[in-house]
Structure 1
């Protein structure tokens, strides 16, 4: 019975709206609410990236140190895929949605490749294609005597799935600059940079993403009494 109530409540809207439309609208509202208070720019004081550079008979492994960086623009967060829902055996709902930044940029005042030990900068970068899987769990309690529900929502996982079309612009010229730019491109498209950006985005969303119950609880309270009453008849 309880699963039937949950499914009915999640699908509450006009009879002309379909299942996916309801979930997408709910997630769009959550994202819009989050963007009113979200941090648009995150500062990075110092980041070290490992690299392995191969060219002809040359193979070099080392590190790149970058200072005074920024990752932006988090206020461009938007839904990039449909929202899906699963009803679990423990009376919780699992929701998953694809989100992304329509404008995903980063910059560092200075980066130094250990091979040459010459500070270069500024470095500007843009990530053209990006998408993250955002997973929620919504724990909905059984209805009270007054017919009201309560729920608690948590973010389970945020994982960067698409990370492509990375573009870099480094000030400078000459052969050394050309090699440094190649190394920095390796770094920017590598797993270390990907994990760093994933961590930055996850930290921002976990701090600022509003709790899911802010939007779903009024829907539950509005329709729970009607659902329970109909089942009695």
Structure 2
């Protein structure tokens, strides 16, 4: 307990950001969340990252992305095929529930964090020297079982919104979808804009890091699914 309290004291706050010279402890993350308050972006965009699972979703998604871009948000989407079949879907879903998609070393989330609406958590990112703790709140969770018939589909997704004290303002969704052809997809969708002077002056770099994260996160989920398949 003493060591935990000492590490909490090591947390620094600069310009509203929570920083740590070492990998943030749970106590530091809780302290950061306690400082955060509510969402830091317009309420009319709360839940805007959610995706329809209807067959006509493509056109509305394009229109939504255009509308977000017109409001100054950078929209980022990454989609990758994980495999096929019910087992692949279940394994990929378990990867999200256990935060394997954030097990990257330089970007981490406490794996004990429940995936449930309203839960607040920190994404801890190592950039240059200090770690940065960025608070978010899960805005929604979608868990749709397979339907019967030729158009059977299943999906699992959750979206998180940024809180005050985050470098960015916006939302990010992680989703696993099993389509009508039994193929299983992993998708990351986000919209964001700078919410701090630091991200404002380095936003081209931030956008590159978002794309890099999407690539590494996809590799982490693919590895989890492959490893679990090989053990069976």
| Fold conserved between structures, TM > 0.5 | no
Q: Which has the higher strand share?
A: 1
Greater Rg, structure 1 or structure 2?
1
- TM-score, normalising length from structure 1? 0.32
- TM-score, normalising length from structure 2? 0.32
